Amino acid sequence: MPRRTFEIGVRAALGAGRERIMSLVLSQGLRVALIGIAAGVFVSFVVTRFLASLLYGIVATDPLTFASVTLLVLAVASAATAVPAMRAARIDPVLMLRTE
């Protein structure tokens, strides 16, 4: 059983609707993804200075490449977070509160 099942069951028992539970799980998952994306973009800007001499025909800090990779990672993170969010929204609070 996932670690947060009991917590989500308590939230549902106290009146949190399915939308609220989904938004909670999605926001927490995407927060981690956004922090990772920000760190990755920062590190990649630093590393591109060292790799610029190896690239031919493109600029090391190509904005289209950075934007497309960022959007791709964000889309994958959203899809990966949506599945647990939908599962969490379907939790039956009575069953979850009975388990330990």
Residue owning tokens 């590190």: 43
Over the stretch 37-90, which tens digit does the pLDDT of each residue have?
999 999 988 888 888 777 777 777 888 888 999 999 999 999 999 998 888 888
Written as six digits, the tokens of 47 are 């590393």
Bigger pLDDT: 19 vs 4: 19
In angstroms, the CA 82 to CA 4 distance is 16
In angstroms, the CA 9 to CA 90 distance is 10
Predicted model pTM: 0.74
Give, in order, the Cα–Cα distances in Å from 32 to each of 18, 49, 65. 22, 27, 22
CA angle 84, 89, 90 (to 5 degrees): 100
